[in-house]
Structure 1
Amino acid sequence: MSIRDTSAQDRPLAASAGRMPRRRLIAIGAAVAIAAAGIGVVAAWRAGGQSISAERVRIAEVTRGDLVRDLSAEGRVISANSPTLYTIAAGTVTLSVVAGDAVKRGQALATIDSPELRSRLAQEESTLASLEAEADRAELDAELTRANARKTLDQATIDRLAAQRDLERNQRAFEGGAVAQIDVARAQDALKKADLGLAAARQEHALQGRGAGLDTRNKRLQAERQRSVVAELQRQVDALTLRAPFDGQVGQLMIAQRANVAANAPVLSVVDLSVFEVEIKVPESFARDLGIGIPAEVSGNTGTFAAAISAVSPEVVNGEVAARLRFTGKQPPALRQNQRLSARIVLDTRRNVLMVERGPFVDQGGGNSAYVMDGAIAVKRAVRTGVSSLAAVEIVDGAKSGDRIVVSGSDQFGDAERIRISGE
């Protein structure tokens, strides 16, 4: 007995005109996928052959508004007056205070024991006393010289007067026939001799007075010079005691008690607690915009206080420039050295300008180009940027309000003119 199969039951069915076979559907779907991939490849090729994920870039929209150019920085409170006191001479230092002590103006802070300087002062004082004595002696000698010259002048005056009288007596006697003509001639010669002696005495008196005055003046000048030397040494000896230049607080001690130090060595610093400044550091790109007198605001736990830039460092350190702010009005209470405060400097305000979020694109394109979005394609376009703040940059030309610019991540594009941004 054989088993019959189902071949007698099978019969072919005619293909339905409105239904497509499954294999054809698969083939058509594969063709569509291939065509779509080809279109994507062509689009990518037209976009420059690259595609960058939107997650790797930052895109910002160009808007119109007020651009406030300001700086925000953390500041450090420093004393506007914090001098360091130095030794005037080598010696042993005895400290009278410790770090942190409150001091008053003129209070002794440290004393330097310098036997050498004190010995020099004593020697110079002795020399001064000797020169002053010589000056007094020169003045006395000048008086004696003038007195002798005056005596000689007076004697010559009397001799001339006597010669004049003798001549008059001889003339009267000659007229009366009592004396001879020769006696009158001798009297006339004596008068002329007396006149010459009087003139010489007068000249000598003047010269002796001038000479004596010059000697006295020279001795006095030597004494004055020595007095200046003694005054300077006395100043140095007085400076051996270091005193507080103002009311304040002892800052740092640079030496130990009873230490032997050289001349001009730092001993300690004194901090003026009544005048403080705030030191800030700003990026190098803003250094040219800073100037003395530009207003600022300093904020702390006790409120906001007006200030102004008082100094700007001429050098750049680690890409930053140091500046100092000085309070223009009331100073915040209870400030402490090295306390941290927030500072804000308003440089400029531009009204109704096109601006976009600030990003690395400004430096990468030199401010002359940027990638502007055209749909999903970033197109390199020539733009011109203006001033910038910490948060935004002004767009002068090359973009309009509503445009979207790649502000960060464009360094991945190389020199491509068009880049596809996938995920946009």
Structure 2
Amino acid sequence: MDIPIEKKKYTTKKIVMYTGIIALIALIIFVILSSSGGSKLNVQKERISIYTVKEGIFQENIPVNGVVLPITTIYLDALEGGRVEEKLAEDGAILKKGDPILRLSNTDLELSLVNQETSVYNLLTQMQISQNAARQNTINRQNQFTDVENSLIEAKRVYDMNEKLYKKGVIARQDYESSLNDFNYQNERMKLSKQVLAQDSLAVKQELSQANSSYARTQSALELMRKKVADLVVRAPVDGQLTSLDAEIGQSINKGERLGQLDVLSGFKIRAEIDEHYITRIHVGQNGTFTFNAETYTLTIKKVYTQVTNGRFQVDMVFEKEVPEEIRRGQTLQIRLALSQEKKALLVAKGGFFQETGGNWIFKLSEDGSSAYKADISLGSQNTEYYEVIKGLKPGDQVITSSYDNYGEIQELILKE
């Protein structure tokens, strides 16, 4: 009896075909996963920076560059124009108040001084002549007054005597009335002489006052002219160091021209430049710190210059306490300027990852540290060392803070020793 032969369900050809289809599907899935960013990348641990997130004291600050300047700078301007005849101090010299620096010459100014002195001497001579004439006039009037007074006394004596004699009938009425008229005349002369003498005295006082006032004004003008000539010698207005002296012998200097400056050496200040982005957050009284010779020093903003130039504005800062002994004018300092008060916060170290992620995500290590995967985060304020973590991380988490430039769309990093 014939036995029916069953037809084989899976032939070699079908097996090969199915295997090819499965391989093709696997390849397609691999390509899709690769293109969708789900790829992995092997990374050597020694080539990356790993930081452990921690809680700590955080203060928002920004780095700024500051230049050391004298606490006060006095500009030296020519009070009078002239020709430089002599340099009495060199650039960099330490001067005391009143020390000469330059000697200028100005023939017109010196000639004006001579003319002014001559005017004063002429006026003084005229005053003396006028005063002598006034004194002589006063003497003459006083002599005239004395004569009138003597005539009045004599007229009164004759009148008194004639009055007695007339009453006794010894003399005629005509003689009596003649002596009375003479007495009255001399009495009126006396009144007039007193008025003249009083007016003369008042006129002499007024003339003397006007002469003295005129002399004082002329003398004041002379002193001013002498001061202008004295200003031809440029002197140090305060104790300090002469810097930026720009004058040579024979050079013509105009009135008001800048000659140099004098730096007061009693202390220093720091002038810092800050990006205009922070102009609304900078105010007088804010603090900054810098490190010098392994010591930390504190600065306080004393003045804010609100004028913005090339996207930056300036502030002046002074030392809060001691000043480093070795610090010098013109030295540049790296300052951390505080923008907020200290507070407790979750911190992650600054690094190159921020340029790629903008602080929106970070590679976070797995618990066993064998791999790192993308984790969404949110960062807040920053300072020169840390970012403030708002969410997405917790204390103890390990993250990669080095640059992500070579990672592209990689979703997971396999960390190799």
Number of residue equivalences: 366
Displacement of 1:192: 2.9
Residue 313 of structure 1 aligns to a residue whose secondary structure is strand
Q: Is the 8 A contact 1:105 1:243 kept in 2?
A: yes
TM-score by structure 2 length? 0.70
> 1:219 offset after TM fit, Å?
1.9
Which residue in 2 is equivalent to 1:211?
203
Output aligned runs, 1:1-12, within 5 Å.
none
Which whole-Å deviations, capped at 9, do the CAs of 1:289-328 have from their partners, x for residues lacking one? 3333444434323733343222221301122211112224
1:192-211 map, 5 Å: 192-211=184-203
Does residue 183 in structure 1 map to residue 171 in structure 2? no
Aligned pair partner of 1:160 in 138, 152, 155: 152
The aligned amino acid for 1:147 is I
CA contact (8 A) 1:66 1:350 kept: yes
**Counterpart mapping for 1:22-421 below 5 A:** 23-24=17-18, 67-87=58-78, 88-301=80-293, 303-349=295-341, 351=343
Q: CA deviation at 1:175?
A: 1.0
Displacement of 1:267 after TM fit? 2.9
More displaced, 73-82 or 184-193?
Answer: 184-193
Distance 1:316 1:345 in 2: 19
Could you tell me how far apart the structure 1 residues matched to 2:245 and 2:142 are? Answer: 70
Query: Structure 2 stretches of 5 or more lacking a match?
Result: 40-52, 351-358, 363-372, 395-408, 413-417
Read off the aligned partner of 2:333 and give its amino acid letter: L
Cα distance in 2, alignment partners of residues 302 and 37 from structure 1: 56
- Cα gap change, 1:291 to 1:182, in 2 (>3 Å): farther
Q: CA offset at residue 173 of structure 1?
A: 0.9
RMSD: 4.4
Aligned partners of 1:158 and 1:294: how far apart in 2?
93
The one-character-per-residue Cα deviations of 1:96-118 (angstroms, maximum 9, x if unpaired) are 33333344443322211222221
Is the alpha carbon distance of 1:160 and 1:423 closer, same or farther for their aligned partners in structure 2, counting shifts above 3 Å? farther
The 8 Å contact of residues 301 and 315 in structure 2, kept in 1 or not, is answered as: yes
Query: What residue ranges of structure 1 are gaps of 5+ in the alignment?
Result: 1-10, 45-50, 54-61, 359-369, 404-420
Q: Is the 8 A contact 2:84 2:248 kept in 1?
A: no
Aligned CA distance change for structure 1 residues 307 and 158 (closer, same or farther; 3 Å): farther
Query: 1:129 Cα shift?
Result: 1.0
Against the structure 1 CA distance between its residues 67 and 197, is the aligned structure 2 distance closer, same or farther, given a 3 Å change threshold? farther
The structure-2 alpha-carbon separation of the partners of 1:303 and 1:195, relative to structure 1 and needing over 3 Å to count, comes to farther
CA spacing shift, 1:193–1:76, aligned 2, 3 Å:
same
Q: Is the 8 A contact 1:308 1:328 kept in 2?
A: yes
How far apart, CA to CA, are the structure 1 residues paired with 2:338 and 2:374?
38
Q: Deviations over 1:37-69 (max 9, x none)?
A: 99999xx9xxxxxx9x9xxxxxxxx99875523
The CA distance in 2 between the partners of 1:158 and 1:391, in whole Å, is 111
Q: Secondary structure at the residue paired with 1:172?
A: helix
